[in-house]
Amino acid sequence: MSRYRGPRFKKIRRLGALPGLTSKRPGARSDLRNQSRSGKKSQYRIRLEEKQKLRFHYGLTERQLLKYVCIAGKAKGSTGLILLQLLEMRLDNILFRLGMTSTIPQARQLINHRHILVNGRIVDIPSYRCKPRDIITARDDQKSRALIQNYLDSSHREELPKHLTLHAFRYKGLINQIIDSKWVGLQINELLVVEYYSRQT
């Protein structure tokens, strides 16, 4: 299944706020409409919606998300927590979290167009897995810096997660450590996502 390219507001009306997909928020009226239409949800539907939240927020294909669930399942520790950490350490998400872009699709575009360096080298793979002590910078040219400055000026500055440091005037971000689960900016029950896939196999 390919990456979703349809109407974004339609998804957030159904699933709630998806800050990685769009900065728009569903209105109170649409929330009430959804509650009145939905009735009692089945356990399958609840698990499916949690999975869809994760998929659309991070901009993943079904195959990519399944791959991350498999990797998390083989690692030591809580599968749900490790899954979120894997997704949060993607380069496209790190750019979004630093405020260098307003959404994850914008971050993906910057990376694909070779505007981003990791530790001084161009990386054009949005799914590149960042590590603690990695340094993320804009390429040293006017166009790359102008694009990021535009995003920095227009983005709604929220509190930066403690695992990241931003030096906006130098177009530079630092990864201090692996993210703590409390800083994941999404209302999600990741265990239901793991459960969804465990019941599919």
Whole-Å CA distances, 82 to 18, 39, 64, 158, 193: 20, 33, 15, 24, 12
The two three-digit tokens of residue 187, written as one number: 């209302």
β strands within the chain, DSSP E: 116-118, 121-122, 135-138, 164-167, 172-175
Same domain, residue pair 110 and 167:
yes
Of 174, 157, 172, nearest to 99 (Cα)? 157
Same domain, residue pair 82 and 94:
no
DSSP-assigned states of every residue in 70-121: HHHHHSSS-HHHHHHHHHHTBHHHHHHHHTSSSSHHHHHHHHHTT-EEETTE
pLDDT per position as a tens digit, 85-96: 999 999 999 999
Chain-wide mean pLDDT for the chain?
82
Same domain, residue pair 194 and 172:
no
- pLDDT at residue 174 greater than cutoff 60: yes
**CATH number (domain holding residue 148):** 3.10.290.10
Q: Which amino acid is at 193?
A: V
**CATH number (domain holding residue 36):** 1.10.1050.10
Same domain, residue pair 16 and 78:
yes
**189 lies in a domain?**
yes
Same domain, residue pair 56 and 76:
yes
Q: How many C-beta neighbours within 10 Å does residue 141 have?
A: 9
Average pLDDT rounded to a whole number, residues 73-102: 92
115 or 33, which is more confident?
115
Q: Which pTM was predicted?
A: 0.81
Same domain, residue pair 54 and 118:
no
- Domain tally, the chain: 2
Using pLDDT thresholds of 50, 70 and 90, give the confidence band for residue 31. very low
Q: 47 lies in which domain range?
A: 8-86+184-198
pLDDT of residue 109: 93
**2 lies in a domain?**
no
**Dihedral-angle region of residue 75 (phi above 0 means left; psi in -120 to 50 means alpha; beta otherwise):** beta
Same domain, residue pair 51 and 17:
yes
User: For helices 62-74 and 190-198, what crossing angle results, to 10°?
Assistant: 100
Cα distance from N-terminal residue to C-terminal residue, the chain: 17
Same domain, residue pair 70 and 94:
no
Same domain, residue pair 82 and 95:
no
User: For helices 62-74 and 79-88, what crossing angle results, to 10°?
Assistant: 130
**Contact indicator for 55, 186 with CB cutoff of 8 Å:** no
